[in-house]
Structure 1
Amino acid sequence: MNVPLLIARRYFSSKKKRNIISIISNISMIGVAVGTMSLIIVLSVFNGLEDLVRSLYGKSDPDLLISAVQGKAFPVSPALLTRLSATPGVGLVTEVIEDNALLQYHDRQMVVKMKGVSNNYFAQSNIDSAIVEGDHRLNRNGEHYALLGAGVQHELSIALDNRFSPLRLLYPRNSGKKSFSITDLDNAFTQQNILAGGVFLIEQHIDDSYIFVPLDFAQSLLQYGNKRTALEVKVKNDEPVDDVKARLRKVLGKQFKVLDSDEQHVSLLKAIKVEKMFVFITFAFILLIASLNIFFSLSMLVIDKRKDVAILMAMGATSHIVRNIFLLEGAIVAMVGALTGLILGVTICWAQQTFKIVSMGMATSVVDAYPVKMQLVDIVLTGLAIVVITITVSIRPALAASRLDVRENL
């Protein structure tokens, strides 16, 4: 029989406990429950936001992105493409030329990110599912078309398939001159016209700045020749991305970077993880403050049960047993509160996932409700935090109880 646990349970459920001690214990349980519930909910929201970022960028991001370690562009030969395509696990390789360009439409203009892609791009990208107007095809009946972000279309009030007013893209010539006279301005830029063929809606940063054009159009405008700014790789369905990434790095050598989806947005995802860590630390301190009531209730319980402790010690109970009684008493109070908070937090997260109770409150939001995702690691970390906090606040009253003088308290 576990005597310390039995006595701790009797102290916890005893109706003869002094009223003030009972009130403080109940406040402790409520504080721990609310803190645990809040921590589970907030961490689940951060998990949902992380998954939302991945899903949003996944519509336009490749499985793997190859770029140069130094410089903006690198030469691409048919032999290199053949070698990459022959790498086990590689399903498709898309050539990409991406750079800033000046977009003009009527009397309006703005700087955009122009992304030229080869014809097989839409075989690996899901961006065609994000089309809200027009057609995603960049080549139709021998003509070039541009695919615009919704923000770019709105900023310049662009009409699709307007043959009388096509889009005009300008890019500085690489003439080697450091300055131009007024008479040279007409020759300072390469210019090409293209029709607007479709509009996509993915994520605000992309929608407000990107346009997609055929690779040969970008190659001609930017005068890149056989150079490319990136190669995008689609991995075969049955192949692990990390394994294919390792093989490509071995094939390409140290002159190239091979990035998976998370590494392509490492700054954004890292920012979410750092915010999640600080939120966890903040709520852990809130739990600690709420658990201070356990310290006060145990201290008062030790004072109230001095005679009982003295009798136990006179009957042969060691200081170790007495200490464990009050440690277990604090653990029971914290455990009841933590389990209550855990059940409430998981229930609220499940309800949000199922019924979308709390909306984002924005008409332009890409999701209707706040995304939540529960993870076992968050529950485990919350449990560990409660254990550490409970031991921290309970150890002093428990030690005080174990050091009571038997003769003075009998």
Structure 2
Amino acid sequence: MNVSLLIARRYFLSKKKRNIISIISNISMVGVAIGTMALIIVLSVFNGLEEVARSLYGKSDPDLMITAVQGKSFEVNPAFIKQIKGLPGVALVTEVIEDNALLQYRDRQMVVKMKGVSDNYYRQSNIDSAIVEGSSQLHRDGMDYALLGAGVQHELSIALDNRFSPMRLLYPRNTGRKTLSMNPETAFNEQNILAGGVFLIEQHVDDSYIFVPLEFARTLLHYENRRTALEVKVQEDQEIGQVKEALKQQLGAGFKVLDSDEQHLSLLKAIKVEKMFVFITFAFILLIASINIFFSLSMLVIDKHKDIAVLMAMGASSRTIRNIFLLEGAIVAQVGAFTGLVLGVGICWAQQTFHLVGMGMATSVVDSYPVKMQFSDIALTGVAIIFITIVVSIRPALNAASLDLRENL
């Protein structure tokens, strides 16, 4: 067995250690355990929030979205759509026109995100599973209907299928002038449509989006053959990444092909940045908690100076002495870290299984705090603890290795 490790274990398990050294060492282990536990839990919560965001947007997001690099729209034609459909792995292509419009209902109005979709939209989107009132159909009995976000309906107090008071959508008319006409009759295109259903996906979407038939949006916006996006459904047996690369090569540099994460890059990046700063913050807390290891090792070096001198007299090298105290600090830190890891994983498992801690908000889309454990978080926490242990242990270990043999025998 390694001599340094053997002596370090004996020092750690020794009941003859000075009481104050033992107390400080135990405080160090408790601090590291609590810090490790908290770090595992908080990182798992951020992972859970990221998964919730993906699942919420997945109800309305396509596998891949094609948009223009420059401008907000691009020309399409049957040959162009057929070209995309002909690529291996492409199951469905939905045409989309999306833009801001003014929604009026009775004496109320608000600016909404109007999304016009072609008839095959429901074959690739799960938005029909998010309908909480009314019907998901955009065409019924020869009439056009709109799907409203729950927040839009609440803001304007819109009644569904109200043929006596339909909704009115207005969009600025393109007259070629730099200024907008002050006459509403000439300044805006306008069309009426009935509210057919209400969806509940995520607050940002619910408070701003309405879905309408593609032809309705094309007429209102005068888009003709232009589209703001094409949404692509990938066949179930195909890799999304491979189809994405094939589309990029086929379409060229004038188009962007975005997967689900890239469609909400700012949100997911914000979660990851917050997670990174939380990790850094808790790593500093772990460092502060581990400072007690520095004090306990420093006092242990003073207490064991005669033992160190005897070991040197028996031929122990400075490296061996240094390693004894480095390993002593590592044992203290790793015992605390392992305890914290077990507690953190146990608490996360209990939250996942029994949903112990609720969100405490009636409007929340999930009842309890979401958690998702990842091995990468555990590994990163372990690396941080190893680094911190070396930082706080190196000075006492060097002091032990530099003791003068003649003065301490």
Which bin holds the TM-score, normalised by the shorter protein?
over 0.9
> TM-score, normalising length from structure 1?
0.98
* TM-aligned CA deviation for residue 180 of structure 1: 5.6
Alignment partner, residue 204 of structure 1? 203
Alignment partner, residue 346 of structure 2? 347
SS at match of 1:100: strand
Alignment partner, residue 293 of structure 1? 292
1:131-180: CA deviations, max 9, x gaps? 00000000112110000000000000001011111111111111123346
Alignment partner, residue 80 of structure 2? 80
1:220-272: CA deviations, max 9, x gaps? 11111011110000000011111000001111111111000111111111111
Structure 1 stretches lacking a partner, 5+ long = none
What residue identity is the alignment partner of 2:314?
M
Alignment partner, residue 248 of structure 1? 247
Root-mean-square deviation (Å):
0.9
What residue identity is the alignment partner of 1:267?
S
Alignment partner, residue 336 of structure 2? 337
- Mapped contact 2:181–2:187 kept (Cα < 8 A): no
> Moved runs in structure 1, 4+ residues, more than 3 A?
178-182
Alignment partner, residue 117 of structure 1? 117
Alignment partner, residue 63 of structure 1? 63
SS at match of 2:327: helix
Alignment partner, residue 388 of structure 1? 387
SS at match of 1:120: helix
What residue identity is the alignment partner of 1:350?
W
Count of residue pairs brought into register by the alignment: 409
* C-alpha distance in structure 2 between counterparts of 1:252 and 1:117, whole Å: 21
1:352-406: CA deviations, max 9, x gaps? 1111111111000000011110000000010001001101111111111111112
Which sits farther off after the overlay, 232-241 or 314-323?
314-323
Distance 1:92 1:307, change over 3 A: same
Alignment partner, residue 282 of structure 1? 281
SS at match of 2:274: helix
* C-alpha distance in structure 1 between counterparts of 2:403 and 2:190, whole Å: 90
Alignment partner, residue 11 of structure 1? 11
What residue identity is the alignment partner of 1:304?
D
Alignment partner, residue 310 of structure 1? 309
Equivalent residues in 2 for 1:148-297 (5 A)? 148-179=148-179, 184-297=183-296
Which sits farther off after the overlay, 399-408 or 124-133?
399-408
* C-alpha distance in structure 2 between counterparts of 1:147 and 1:279, whole Å: 39
Alignment partner, residue 321 of structure 2? 322
Alignment partner, residue 130 of structure 1? 130
- Mapped contact 2:40–2:378 kept (Cα < 8 A): yes
> TM-score, normalising length from structure 2?
0.99
SS at match of 1:95: strand
Alignment partner, residue 54 of structure 1? 54
* C-alpha distance in structure 2 between counterparts of 1:227 and 1:179, whole Å: 24
* C-alpha distance in structure 2 between counterparts of 1:351 and 1:181, whole Å: 62
What residue identity is the alignment partner of 1:142?
G
1:320-348: CA deviations, max 9, x gaps? 11111111111100010000000000001
Alignment partner, residue 37 of structure 1? 37
* TM-aligned CA deviation for residue 181 of structure 1: 5.7
- Mapped contact 2:103–2:111 kept (Cα < 8 A): yes
* C-alpha distance in structure 1 between counterparts of 2:136 and 2:192, whole Å: 18
SS at match of 2:119: coil
- Mapped contact 2:68–2:74 kept (Cα < 8 A): yes
Quote the sequence identity (%).
77
* C-alpha distance in structure 2 between counterparts of 1:201 and 1:403, whole Å: 69
- Mapped contact 2:350–2:356 kept (Cα < 8 A): yes
- Mapped contact 2:31–2:286 kept (Cα < 8 A): yes
1:361 aligns with 2:360: yes
Alignment partner, residue 27 of structure 1? 27
